[in-house]
Chains A and B, each alone.
Chain A
Amino acid sequence: MGLITFFLLVLFAITSFYLGYFRSNRVRVIEKQRPFSLDKYYGYYLAIWSVVPAVIILFAILIFDGFIVKNYVLSEFYSQGIDQSEISLLFTQIENTRNGIKLFNSEDEIIVNAVNKLNYIEGIFDITSIITVFSVSSLFLLYGYRKINLNFDARLIVEKFILIGFFLCSLIAILVTVGIIFSLLYETVRFFSQVPILDFLFGTNWSPQRAFVRDAADAADIENAFGAVPLFSGTFLIAFIAMCVSIPVGLLTAIYMSEYAKSSVRNTAKPIIEILAGIPTVVYGFFAVITIAPFIRSLGGSIGLDVSSESALAAGLVMGIMIIPFVSSLSDDVISSVPQSLREGSYAMGATKSETIKKVIIPAALPGIIGSFLLAVSRAIGETMIVVMAAGLVANLTANPLEASTTITTQIVVILIGDQEFDSPKTMSAFALGLTLFVMTLILNFIALRVVKKYTEKYE
């Protein structure tokens, strides 16, 4: 059905294009004068008139037809006064039976009747919608066709249309942001109507399963189950470990690359290090579980430390490896953009290369370098797969990197993986965590981008 309509539409558009094209040709022959625009623009003009209204109508039908069909099929049940949830269950059963899935009640008379009714109304709906769409767009086509004459500027209108289309495409970025904020805020507000925001931000006990298992009437229990402090502490602990790895390695790499390395070394080593940024995070997670965690465990065991099999240290180390290229390439850019005159001035004073780097270049590049650190921190905070696979799933308020600890992202995944029960505070808490994460990374990115931008402008 959808495919047929699509092909019909394409066919319709092509026909309209040639209609306009030949119309313009004829105008030229009859009037012995060239029309205002090139022939093809009249073609485009008609193609737009024939397709755009049709697509808009089709979308409207797509949105509303399911609703109308459902209401029609279920109308008799509504009048019988059957419960709302039972009706929606019934409708799923009807649909499944129609799609050939045998259910326990597929043979029931009600269901069979309803399936027939459903097929009937959908058939009618399909045919009428195709007829409506094509008659309406034919009308528009006719309107456009009659407008074509010698002095009609089709190009102007086609170009305006193209521009509007481009403009709408550029708006999607805003739409996505609005979508993110809306979907996060909606659930979060509902969550905070059940759990006080202060309990969420400052509570030290995170056990959403408990709110799920116990009776929801026990309000105090729900409040106590959603204290996110252990998640925040876990997130920052792991991010801190990651930064301990990536800052020294990344920064020293950047310094060596931009100040010491020959171009041949630079050209081979840099792409290889960038590979680290392109490896999917699930690979790092697997690497942490299978190699780093056992290694740390046996290392800890050999010096008499008890390391749990899922530890913040393993996750943090691997995350640090992942972040190295972010720090190194951003810092490299910043260091390279320090003007040559500063270096030469320092050399002229008799400073060695390392002294120049430590006392002139780094201080000059410091804001940019800090910006790159902030971006790396925001990466670390938002990283999901490594911590889901290697850091542990149970909330644990600890500063010991050898114990399991959990993060914001891990808990979002743990809560939302598989089937969720909607409207439960447990599910909504994931969105609250998501909003927290979004706001944190937004602030970090905003500051970092500002700092980096301001700094690069300074030397330009």
Chain B
Amino acid sequence: MNSNSLKISNENLKRRLNAERRFKFYGVIAISLALIFVLILFTNIISKGYSAFYRTLIEIKIEFNDKVQPEMFKQMSDTEINKLDLYSFSKKNIYSNFPDIEKKSDKKKIIKLFSIEFEEEIKTYINKNKNNLGNKINLYISASDDIDQIHKGNYSRDIPEERRRVSNFQLSIYDELVGQNKVKFEFNLPFFSRGDSREAELAGLGGSLIGSFFTMIIVLLLSFPFGLFGAIYLEEFSKRNRFTDFIEININNLAAVPSIVFGLLGLGILLNTFELPRSTALVGGITLSLMTLPTIIIATRASLRSVPPSIREGALAVGASKVQTVMHHVVPLALPGSITGTIIGIARALGETAPLLLIGMVAFIVDVPSSPLDPSTSLPVQAYLWNDSAERAYEEKTSAAIIILLSFLILFNLIAVFIRRKFETKW
């Protein structure tokens, strides 16, 4: 080989190896991009949402007077106290915490520092401590959502006053309160028990958590038995003919039908034909279980298929009938796989939003539902609703709802992985 052609070949090889390195590099870039997306998504939502798990409280002191005496509460029941009109009493007491302020417009601004339900919070405090009330009491009541956001640093203080929701005057009062150590920042427990509200500082996840719970129970009750039994029939008993082929094609196609089409099915059949109650977890559950069914059938069939024929032949050989063979020997071995598939299916149903929008589970519902027949929302729908709200304070609420939703999904998937590792037999 002469030196010239060797040179060409060497150059050629160099070029080809460079191309090789480049190609591999593209692959690395693609994977890192995908991983970076995951990272950005999670950090973004967590950093936006974690502050919603805390709330801001402001300490005020209340002085009872002749009209409203601490003794009078002792004989009253909780409901009687809740019916009292303490609005002007509460308001005056809040004003008296700020003796320097006399202008009426300024007083109005002071009231706006507090949650709109300050009267209820004072009543709740009285209810709790009605037997040992002194003449002067100190208590914490919730700050308004704007002050809450300022305290958390979510609102910038640098923007000009006219574009800010909190005026300079209110800010100075707030700073004064912080200086006097009268502002408390604590874990937001009511966020998990309250229903939705038009006031951001009062809106909670309670209603949608319960709604999601009811919906998922119905999905589980409907889709698991039907999915399991249907899969057993198709895999173990059916003869292969055109009809079973047709069922199989059907199931595969249903698994790929867009979720919103199931919403249309729920609206057209469940609501309009069967006249089931709108906006309820019952209808939501039925709709989502139809969507989950194919997932469960496909997972169960796969795990039934992985049970080796020797198990079946052994059972048949000692005289078990076909049904006994399947129910006593094959299904118990396939059950972990089926349960794993069910949990994953339910996790998907839990995050599903679009079909629920069509069957009315998006209504603004303040009450926490007490049964699957009450109107309710679900966790992802609540996130959607809050995202639609104009007020900035709902942004952290939306993120918080999503954090809770994602933690449930991660929990479900971990359980599924655990069951698979622990109980699944490898043949």
Contact = CB atoms under 8 A, between A and B. Distances in A.
A389 B387 contact: yes
A167 B233 contact: yes
Nearest to A163: B237
Nearest to A162: B323
Contacts of B327: 162
A173 B380 contact: no
B28 to A, nearest CB: 7
A434 B226 contact: no
B178 interface: no
B48 A290 contact: yes
B45 A354 contact: no
Nearest to B350: A280
Given A173-B293, A187-B268, A252 B353 contact: no
A347 interface: no
B124 interface: no
Given A166-B233, A183-B269, A283-B402, A278 B20 contact: no
A174 B272 CA distance: 21
A328 B293 CA distance: 25
A166 B229 contact: yes
A135 interface: no
Contacts of A375: 256
A413 B387 contact: no
Contacts of A176: 254, 265, 290, 293
Nearest to A431: B264
A248 B30 contact: yes
A56 to B, nearest CB: 18
Interface stretch (B33-41, B72-80, B164-172, B188-196): B33-41
Main secondary structure of the interface of A (DSSP, over half): helix
Interface residues of A, number: 86
Contacts of B259: 382, 384
Interface string B10-38: 00000011011011101111110111011
B230 A169 contact: yes
A281 B41 CA distance: 12
A388 B353 CA distance: 11
Interface in B86-143: none
A179 B269 contact: yes
Contact of B229 (A165, A248, A269, A278): A165
Contacts of B384: 282, 285, 385, 389
Interface in B37-53: 37-38, 40-41, 44-45, 48
B27 A441 contact: no
A180 B268 CA distance: 9
Interface string A354-372: 1101100000000000000
A22 B256 CA distance: 51
Contacts of B227: 169
A166 B304 CA distance: 15
Nearest to B222: A172
B19 A354 contact: yes
Contacts of A170: 229-231, 233-234, 238, 247, 297
A34 interface: no
B296 to A, nearest CB: 11
Interface stretch (A24-32, A77-85, A442-450): A442-450
B357 A417 contact: yes
Contacts of B269: 179, 182-183
B351 A280 contact: yes
Contacts of B265: 176, 179-180, 183
A438 interface: yes
B358 interface: yes
Given A174-B250, A276-B34, A279-B41, A382 B260 contact: yes
Given A248-B30, A409-B258, A354 B23 contact: yes
Nearest to B48: A290
A215 B250 CA distance: 43
Nearest to A453: B252
A430 B20 CA distance: 51
Contact of A257 (B31, B226, B230, B293): B31
A286 interface: yes
B421 to A, nearest CB: 13
Interface stretch (B149-157, B308-316, B333-341, B405-413): B405-413
Contacts of A389: 384, 387
B354 interface: yes
A179 B286 CA distance: 13
Contacts of B30: 248-253, 256
Contacts of A257: 31
Nearest to A354: B23
B19 A382 contact: no
Contacts of A418: 360, 362-363
A385 B399 CA distance: 16
Contact of A385 (B29, B253, B353): B353
B31 A253 contact: yes
Contacts of A187: 268
A109 to B, nearest CB: 29
Q: Which of B272, B350, B354, B381 has most chain A Cβ within 10 Å?
A: B354
A256 B24 contact: yes
A319 interface: no
A373 B345 CA distance: 23
Given A166-B237, A285-B387, A287-B44, A279 B351 contact: yes
B323 A280 contact: no
B254 A173 contact: yes
B246 interface: yes
A276 B37 contact: yes
Interface of A: 155, 159, 162-163, 165-167, 169-174, 176-177, 179-180, 182-184, 186-187, 248-253, 255-257, 260-261, 269, 272-273, 275-276, 278-283, 285-287, 289-291, 321, 324-325, 328, 352-355, 357-358, 375, 378, 381-385, 388-389, 409, 412-413, 416-418, 422, 430-431, 434, 437-438, 441-442, 445-446, 449
23 contacts: A162-B323, A163-B237, A171-B247, A172-B293, A174-B250, A177-B250, A182-B268, A182-B269, A183-B265, A186-B268, A249-B33, A269-B35, A273-B38, A278-B347, A282-B402, A283-B405, A286-B399, A353-B24, A382-B257, A384-B353, A418-B362, A438-B257, A442-B257
**Top 6 nearest A-B pairs by Cβ distance?**
A382-B258, A280-B351, A256-B27, A183-B268, A252-B30, A166-B233
Given A173-B230, A173-B297, 18 more contacts: A170-B297, A172-B230, A172-B293, A173-B294, A174-B246, A176-B254, A184-B268, A252-B26, A260-B27, A279-B41, A283-B406, A324-B34, A354-B23, A355-B16, A382-B259, A384-B259, A434-B260, A437-B258
